[in-house]
Amino acid sequence: MTQISYQLYCSRNFPPLGDTLQMLSATGFKEVEGFGGLFDDLDGLKGGLDATGLKMTSSHFGLDMVEGDASKAIAIAKELGIQKVIVPFVMPDDRPVDAAGWAAFGTRLAEAGKPFQDADLVFGWHNHDFEFVATETGELPLDIIAAASSELMFELDLGWVARAGLDPVAWIQKYAGRITAAHIKDIARAGENADEDGWADVGHGVQDWAAIHAALQETGVDHYVVEHDNPKDHARFASRSLAAIQKF
C-alpha cells in the first residue's frame, strides 16, 4: 500500500495551520510531512494532528538542528510519531563549490545522521536542482553525496530532477533501494502558471506520471509526498493532486 502524504510547506502562505489540517483531512489525506518552522508551536501542531487524525510520518529538519541539537530533533520526532527525518536544503552561501567540498558535505551528512539512525529513524537528504550541476570533475553533487555513505537515504524530489533537465525515471532507477520517499511534483507547460513559479498540480503538468509511478513501484518506493512550492490555492492543489495520484 502506497503512503500518500502532503508537504505542509505548500500551505505556509495559508494560515492558520489548524484550518489547513482540517482541509487536508476533509480532502482525503491521511498523512502529512512537516518542516522545521512548525516546531515553534509543538503543542499546537500536535493538537492539530490529533484533532484531524492526520499522521506526520516524515518531516524536514534543518541541518542546523540535526547537527546542533540532535537530541531535541529526535525528541520532536518521537513525540509526533515521525519516522523519517529529512534534511531539505543548504543555503547558497553554504554550498560547496567543488567536488572535494561536496564529498566533505556528504561525510558531514552521514555523521549528522548517526544519532537518528541509532534512534531507529530513517535519515535522508532532499534534493533541489543545484545537486545536478556538474563539479569541476564532471561529477554531480548528488552522486558525490551518495558515495559518502551507503546508509544515507534520499527523498527524491522529482520536480527538481526534471527542472534540472534530467529524467526522473532514470534517477529513480539509479538510486533504487536508497529512496525512502519521493516528492511528487509537477511542472507546468511552457508559458503557464508563471504566478505559481511554473509548478503545476500533480497530473496537470508535463511530468510522465505513468512511467514515473511504474519506476517508483518497481524500485519499492511506497511513500509519495505531494508538493507544490507556490500554489495560489492550496485546497485546489491538494484535491486535484490527490485525485491524480489515486488514478496512477
Instruction: Give the closest residue to 202 by CA, choosing from 165, 167, 164, 158.
Output: 158
Q: How confident is the model at residue 12 (pLDDT cuts 50, 70, 90)?
A: very high
- What pTM did the predictor assign? 0.97
Determine which helix (DSSP H) or strand (DSSP E) holds 5, and give its type and residue range: strand 3-7
Residue 13 Cα distances to 50, 148, 194, angstroms? 22, 36, 17
Q: List the domain range (segments joined by +) for residue 186.
A: 3-246
Rounded to an integer, what distance in angstroms lies between the CA atom of residue 194 and that of residue 95? Answer: 28
- We report the CATH number of the domain holding residue 49 as 3.20.20.150
| Number of folded domains that form the chain | 1
| Mean pLDDT for the stretch of residues 130-146 | 98
% of the chain beyond a pLDDT of 90: 100
Residues 6 or more apart whose CB falls under 8 angstroms from that of 138 comprise: none
Give yes or no for a contact between 219 and 179, defined as CB atoms under 8 angstroms apart.
Answer: yes
What 3-state DSSP class applies to 57?
strand
> What is the structure's pLDDT at 1?
86
pLDDT in tens, 50-81: 999 999 999 999 999 999 999 999 999 999 99
| Mean pLDDT for the stretch of residues 151-165 | 98
Compute the mean pLDDT over every residue in the chain, rounded to the nearest whole number. Answer: 97
**Helix then strand then coil, % of the chain, to nearest 5:** 50, 15, 35
